[in-house]
């Protein structure tokens, strides 16, 4: 399922529909849906085609997945599954696109501080996004 979430995240980040991706890798959009939901396994050659379409290395789909071979984990946050799941949502995608549109680094830092402050008021831990008792 983690591989499917990452496919969805990158597809949405590129503004690509399931139909467009399906056409590029020569499957139906229903098959792409099944890959993204984790109901169907993505074969190696199909995953290579998807990676090529999304302009990511195949290894991206396996970084920091529990039980996967050790990969370069530097720079990855704890709870990658939660992060991937959030970024895959329409809300997460909209938030990330809006944030990326802010070019001033100082303003971006203030936005991060604001969100951390709001999260701490909601009872969310500041470092890992865990709920506090």
Largest CA-CA distance found in the chain, in angstroms, rounded: 49
For the question of whether the overall pTM of this predicted structure is more than 0.85, the answer is: no
Whose tokens are 């946050």? That residue is 77
Q: Is 124 helix (H, G, I), strand (E, B) or coil?
A: strand
Burial 1-22 (b: 16+ CB within 10 A, else e): ebbbbbbbbbbbbeebebeebb
Q: How many CB atoms lie within 10 A of CB 40?
A: 16
Q: pLDDT digit of tens for each residue in the chain (133 aa)?
A: 688 888 988 888 888 899 999 999 999 999 999 999 989 999 999 999 999 998 888 888 877 644 444 443 444 444 455 666 677 777 887 888 888 888 888 998 898 889 888 888 877 544 444 444 3
- The span from the CA of 78 to the CA of 81, in Å, is 9
């Amino acid at each position: 399922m983690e591989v499917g979430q990452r496919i969805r995240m990158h597809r949405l980040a590129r503004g690509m529909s399931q139909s467009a991706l399906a056409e590029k890798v020569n499957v139906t959009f229903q098959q792409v849906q099944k890959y993204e939901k984790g109901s169907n396994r993505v074969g190696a050659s199909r995953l290579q085609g998807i990676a090529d379409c999304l302009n990511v290395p195949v290894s991206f789909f396996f970084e920091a997945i529990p039980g996967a071979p050790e990969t370069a984990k530097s720079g990855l946050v704890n709870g990658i599954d939660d992060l991937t799941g959030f970024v895959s949502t329409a809300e997460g995608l909209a938030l990330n696109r809006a944030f990326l549109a802010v070019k001033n680094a100082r303003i971006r830092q203030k936005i991060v501080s604001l969100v951390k402050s709001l999260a701490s008021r909601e009872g969310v831990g500041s470092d890992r996004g865990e709920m506090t008792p």
